[in-house]
Amino acid sequence: MKKALSVIIVITLIFSCNTGNKKNKLEPISLKDTIFVKPEILKTDKLLSVIWKIKIYDSILLLMSPDGKGSVQLLNKNSGKFISTKCIEGRGPGEFSDFVELKTIADSIYIYEPPKNSISVYKTDAFLSESLLQTDKKIKFEKHKVNFDAFPLNGYFVSKPGIGPRFALFNRNGKHISDYELFPDYYKDVKSFNHKGELVQYFVYEPKPDLSKFVSISYFGGVLEIFNVEKGSINRIMERKILDPNLKMVREDDWLIQEDTKIGFLGLYTTDDYIYTSYSGLTSKELQEIKQMDYIIVFDWGGNIKRIYKVEGGLKALAADEAEGKIYIVTKDSEGGDAVGVIKM
């Protein structure tokens, strides 16, 4: 009887270990069904500098692209015609003292100001049409000196503190609720204060448009995670490991990223059905030579890959217009400057 019980226990342990390994196993991307695409450069009458991000609202492209006057440029998505500059720099009413972060969610625009550690909420139509911005609501976060990439989620705000935990959770009035500390296992050896601060900034995340959950992608290596918020706590509900970052902590006072560090994701855009990402797979040294990501990988919200595009000329950021079957990307023009490209799905 004891022998039989021992066998059962051993089998149970083996099964449990195998199940855990399967859950956390590396799932490299197969490129055999890759679709090769060549973007069409969107001609515009606006001279653009560097473009950090791209968003879509109705017929308008919102480019996070400072021009010396403001941080955001509006273009017609079909003609490329320049509409106006938003987030004007200054200290007057409706102006901003420094670079801002912008998110478009439903019929509202959320603008985070790092110097004030606050987020302002605007009705999108008013934001796009009015020359002097008037906020509907302004929320100041009570904890952490800066809270980058803040967005609403299921009655809360989620943010990425500049120093400290990976995520922070606040109520809709800015009161701190809880922090989330956990990183994927690839980064368990990152222990120094400087390296942790660097690591946090190399994760990009966006909410699902219905605000029920959010997705996080990693620049170091390729890890895709899905989170939700329940009972005042951020919870990881799915993790997919695609690329080992090959991190090597050489010295605590050195950069976390090294020449042979593997680079995964950069750009991120979400819709109700899909997660659009830009992806490399190269080492940091290799990426420095081309300075662009090669692929667009489209996931569903279960973490399954639905489509892979190889983009001629590469890309950084992206935004999807599923109604028109187009993906707008930040790429390079013939002169090597940042430009908007259009890909047909």
* 296 assigned to some structural domain: yes
Domain span at residue 178 reads 27-344
* 9 assigned to some structural domain: no
CA distance 233 to 160: 15
* 224 assigned to some structural domain: yes
pLDDT for 4: 44
Q: Is 331 exposed, middle or buried (0-12, 13-18, 19+ CB in 10 A)?
A: buried
* 151 assigned to some structural domain: yes
* 119 assigned to some structural domain: yes
* 6 assigned to some structural domain: no
pLDDT for 133: 66
CA distance 42 to 319: 14
Counting the structural domains of the chain, the total is: 1
* 247 assigned to some structural domain: yes
- Output the domain CATH number for residue 182: 2.120.10.30
Q: What is the DSSP string of 65-133?
A: ---SSEEEEEEETTT--EEEEEEEBSSSTT-BSS--EEEEETTEEEEEEGGGTEEEEEEHHHHHH-SS-
* 80 assigned to some structural domain: yes
State the 10-residue block means of pLDDT for the chain, 345 residues long. 41 36 72 94 91 94 92 95 90 76 90 91 86 78 94 95 92 96 87 80 94 96 95 96 86 82 96 97 93 96 96 97 97 93 96
The four Cα atoms 225, 229, 230, 231 give a dihedral, to 10 degrees, of: 130
pTM of this structure: 0.90
